């Protein structure tokens, strides 16, 4: 970590956690979790289980999208008092389609020391596994469920870079069909499910082929959808 934690006064660590395989936790993440004063968690049950597997006992405080505004002042006060705090979302890197942005922004505003650890995030392994162009890409996170959805598709239809989405298994087929309407049914794509887990799947095909497959084989688990950019 470079600097001993007991020499650091008031610092927030953003700590990525495994997206499935517990072996993906980093040595630096373990060190931070062992030595911090408090662990903020998107879900204390999920993070508590991880800490238990690591043999770490720490005070946990929930901080998620429904309470992060109300918790923010008290957490900032702890940081100003000199506490070392680690923030974990349920899986992956906080701030990437997960809570975390608000507290990071507030740390910058208050000149609180901040360090983001490198670690697990789902869309990078999905991008590489897709076999689609990886030198330039755009990450779209979760698509709008209703308002603004068609507008987003129209914008993406002319996007030349490889496009990445996070998607629910319950909306995957609808999204594949919608993308087929606006981007073309023959646009190449890859669906990555359950990355790093025992039943990991990276299925490639056209948008139409993938929509048909998952219509008859309903998907389960966390999903990253990678779609070829407009190369015309």
Read off the pLDDT of residues 130-146 as tens digits, 9 standing for 90 and up: 999 999 999 999 999 88
Same-domain status, 105 and 134:
no
The edge-to-edge listing of strands for the beta sheet with 38-41 is 60-62, 38-41, 84-88, 11-14, 113-116
Residue 4 vs residues 32, 36, 151: alpha-carbon distances, Å: 10, 11, 49
Q: What is the CA radius of gyration of the chain?
A: 20
Q: Which residue, 63, 87, 116, sits at the end of a domain?
A: 116
First to last CA, the chain: 47
Give the domain extent around 19: 5-116
**212 contact partners, CB below 8 Å, separation of at least 6:** none
Same-domain status, 129 and 112:
no
pLDDT of residue 231: 85
Matching residue, tokens 């998607």:
167
HEC profile for 25-45? Answer: CCHHHHHHHHHCCEEEECCHH
pLDDT of residue 97: 87
The enclosing domain of 38 has a CATH number of 3.40.1010.10
d(CA 210, CA 206): 6
Residues of the chain with pLDDT under 70: 1-8
pLDDT of residue 4: 55
pLDDT of residue 189: 98
- Tens digits of residue pLDDT in 80-137: 999 999 999 999 999 998 899 999 999 999 999 999 999 999 999 999 999 999 999 9
d(CA 38, CA 59): 5
The answer as to whether 232 is a domain residue is no
Same-domain status, 102 and 185:
no
The structural domain count of the chain equals 2
The answer as to whether 175 is a domain residue is yes
In the beta sheet, which residues pair with residue 193? 201, 223
């Amino acid at each position: 970590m470079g600097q001993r934690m007991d020499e650091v006064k008031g610092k927030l660590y953003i700590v990525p956690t495994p997206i499935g395989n517990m072996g993906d936790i980093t040595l630096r993440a373990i060190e931070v979790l062992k030595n911090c004063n408090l662990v903020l968690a998107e879900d204390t049950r999920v993070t508590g289980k991880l800490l238990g597997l690591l043999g770490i006992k720490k005070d946990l405080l929930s901080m998620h999208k429904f309470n992060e505004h109300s918790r923010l002042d008290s957490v900032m006060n702890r940081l100003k008092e000199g506490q070392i705090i680690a923030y974990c979302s349920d899986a992956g890197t906080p701030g990437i389609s997960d809570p975390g942005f608000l507290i990071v922004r507030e740390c910058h505003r208050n000149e609180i020391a901040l360090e983001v650890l490198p670690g697990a995030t789902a869309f990078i392994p999905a991008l590489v596994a897709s076999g689609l162009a990886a030198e330039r890409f755009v990450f779209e996170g979760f698509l709008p469920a209703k308002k603004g959805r068609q507008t987003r598709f129209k914008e993406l239809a002319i996007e030349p870079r490889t496009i990445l989405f996070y998607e629910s298994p319950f909306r995957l087929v609808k999204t594949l069909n919608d993308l087929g309407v606006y981007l073309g049914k023959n646009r190449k794509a890859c669906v990555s499910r359950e990355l790093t887990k025992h039943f990991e799947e990276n299925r490639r095909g056209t948008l139409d082929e993938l929509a048909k497959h998952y219509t008859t084989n309903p998907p389960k688990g966390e999903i990253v959808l990678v779609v070829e950019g407009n190369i015309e």
